[in-house]
């Protein structure tokens, strides 16, 4: 049986800070279990040395751990080979790498890129810049009244000039879950490529990139129990091989002369300089922890927490829940607004009660503009979330309404 209370004991922050801290902001960044902290500490304390550079024992051990972390992430995501996993700083860097390296190489004036109205800025601004620089045409897949992305709306946008479709598998605001498989099928019909932003899916549900069929998939380590400063880019081998490097410098080269340079093999071609190998090792421990929990179990738990949160929020006078109301089509976030209470005021009052939520535009200003609001409040859930935290949230909202005389 899945036991969030027992799982919570694996996270030192809940005992050192407060065992009754209601942390409802995991969509921004998750807490870290002891296994991740220990894996990183073991490197720093017991055998730290740079990777790929030394022939002595510490360096070779660090390199082996780094390679093992890549293999663990590949297994976790269902990548056919570890070499198709590129380590970056975060999903934002992965998407910028794609816009820079793939976009500036293979897309040009008049080519169409389809993205959605619910994208995080990380999957929005790089394509705005590409459109400005290269004359690429951007088209926006609209959300329905329920906050979902419907395929008939996509069909109305796709043309023979469509070269790329990029979208979030799970919205970081609305929680909308979009199945990549039918999107990939439509893209293939016109020869287009597909990028899936898995920042809010890889940490929360089973993902197999080979089965999804997308050309690229990105996610961030810090949202999936891992440390900050480490992200993932999965790509089709032939596409990664054809793309130029994003950054140049040490370790991404095969040879350098006074007249030029040749590039290393993938994935090292995209990992210039000393990589965040300790962070990668921490991410390897994080995916190992998630595998032990079972991603099916993780998803089932979050679906239960989400359904309960949506139910309780629907009871709050003046509350407007954003996104689908069906937990089956909803990831582990619940965004909402309350009449006559600014989200920042609400979040501040909740913090005084030991309840952490997110308030603002959540790096999705175009989506909030589409919804006719400037900001929203967002509670988000993860492996350690318990029902009492959601009850505390509702009690805190009721108290805030009384304080602010809403």
- Please name the helix (run of DSSP H) or strand (run of DSSP E) that holds residue 34, with its range, or none: helix 34-46
Question: What is the residue-averaged pLDDT of the chain?
Answer: 96
- β-strands 231-235, 253-257 pairing: unpaired
- β-strands 22-23, 355-356 pairing: parallel
pLDDT at 406: 52
pTM of the model: 0.97
Residues annotated as catalytic are 363
Residue 21 binned pLDDT confidence (cut-offs 50, 70, 90)? confident
Q: What is the Cα–Cα distance from 317 to 320, expressed in whole angstroms? A: 9
Q: Residues 313-351: pLDDT tens digits?
A: 999 999 999 999 999 999 999 999 999 999 999 999 999
Q: What is the Cα–Cα distance from 39 to 41, expressed in whole angstroms? A: 6
Asked if 222 and 29 count as a contact pair (C-beta separation under 8 A), the reply is yes
Residue 311 binned pLDDT confidence (cut-offs 50, 70, 90)? very high
Whether pLDDT at 19 is above 70 = no
Q: Residues 112-139: pLDDT tens digits?
A: 999 999 999 999 999 999 999 999 999 9
Whether pLDDT at 20 is above 90 = no
Asked if 86 and 235 count as a contact pair (C-beta separation under 8 A), the reply is yes
Asked if 123 and 198 count as a contact pair (C-beta separation under 8 A), the reply is no
Residue 223 binned pLDDT confidence (cut-offs 50, 70, 90)? very high
Q: What is the Cα–Cα distance from 363 to 304, expressed in whole angstroms? A: 26
Question: Per the structure block, which two tokens stand in for 204?
Answer: 């929360």
Q: Residues 153-195: pLDDT tens digits?
A: 999 999 999 999 999 999 999 999 999 999 999 999 999 999 9
Q: Residues 229-262: pLDDT tens digits?
A: 999 999 999 999 999 999 999 889 999 999 999 9
pLDDT at 46: 93
pLDDT at 53: 83
Q: Where are the domains of the chain?
A: 4-24+294-403, 37-291
pLDDT at 49: 96
Q: What is the Cα–Cα distance from 387 to 134, expressed in whole angstroms? A: 50
CA 307 to chain centre: 21
Class of domain 4-24+294-403 as given by CATH: alpha beta
CATH topology of domain 37-291: 3.40.640
Average of pLDDT values for 202-224? 98
In this prediction, what percent of the chain has a pLDDT beyond 70? Answer: 99
pLDDT at 396: 97
Q: What is the Cα–Cα distance from 60 to 68, expressed in whole angstroms? A: 12
């Amino acid at each position: 049986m899945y036991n969030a209370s027992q799982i919570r004991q694996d996270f030192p922050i809940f005992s050192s800070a407060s065992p009754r801290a209601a942390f409802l902001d995991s969509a921004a960044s998750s807490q870290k279990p002891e296994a991740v902290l220990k894996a990183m500490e073991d490197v720093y304390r017991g055998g730290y040395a740079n990777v790929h550079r030394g022939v002595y024992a510490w360096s070779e051990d660090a390199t082996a751990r780094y390679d093992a972390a890549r293999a663990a992430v590949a297994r976790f995501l269902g990548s056919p080979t570890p070499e198709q996993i590129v380590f970056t700083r975060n999903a934002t860097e992965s998407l910028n790498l794609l816009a820079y390296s793939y976009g500036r190489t293979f897309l040009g004036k008049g080519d169409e890129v389809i993205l959605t109205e619910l994208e995080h800025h990380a999957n929005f601004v790089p394509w705005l810049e590409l459109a400005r620089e290269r004359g690429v045409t951007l088209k926006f897949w609209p959300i329905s009244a329920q906050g979902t992305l419907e395929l008939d709306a996509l069909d109305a946008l796709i043309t023979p000039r469509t070269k790329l479709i990029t979208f979030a598998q799970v919205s970081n605001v609305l929680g909308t879950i979009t199945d990549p498989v039918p999107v990939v099928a439509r893209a293939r019909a016109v020869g287009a490529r597909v990028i899936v932003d898995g920042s809010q899916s890889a940490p929360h549900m089973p993902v197999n990139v080979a089965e999804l069929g997308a050309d690229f998939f990105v996610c961030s380590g810090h949202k999936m129990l891992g440390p900050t400063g480490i992200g993932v880019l999965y790509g089709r081998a032939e596409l990664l091989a054809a793309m130029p490097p994003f950054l140049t410098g040490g370790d991404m080269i095969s040879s350098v002369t006074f007249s030029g340079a040749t590039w290393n093999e993938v994935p090292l071609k995209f990992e210039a300089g000393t990589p965040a190998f300790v962070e990668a090792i921490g991410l390897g421990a994080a995916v190992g922890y998630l595998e032990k929990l079972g991603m099916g179990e993780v998803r089932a738990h979050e679906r239960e927490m989400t359904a309960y949160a949506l139910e309780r929020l629907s009871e709050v006078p003046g509350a407007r829940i954003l996104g689908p109301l069906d937990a089956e089509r909803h990831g582990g976030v619940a965004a909402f607004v309350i009449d006559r209470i600014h989200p920042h005021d609400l979040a501040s009052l909740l913090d005084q009660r030991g309840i952490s939520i997110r308030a603002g535009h959540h790096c999705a200003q175009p989506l909030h503009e589409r919804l006719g609001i400037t900001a929203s409040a967002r509670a988000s859930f993860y492996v350690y979330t318990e029902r009492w935290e959601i009850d505390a949230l509702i009690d805190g909202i009721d108290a805030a309404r009384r304080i602010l005389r809403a």
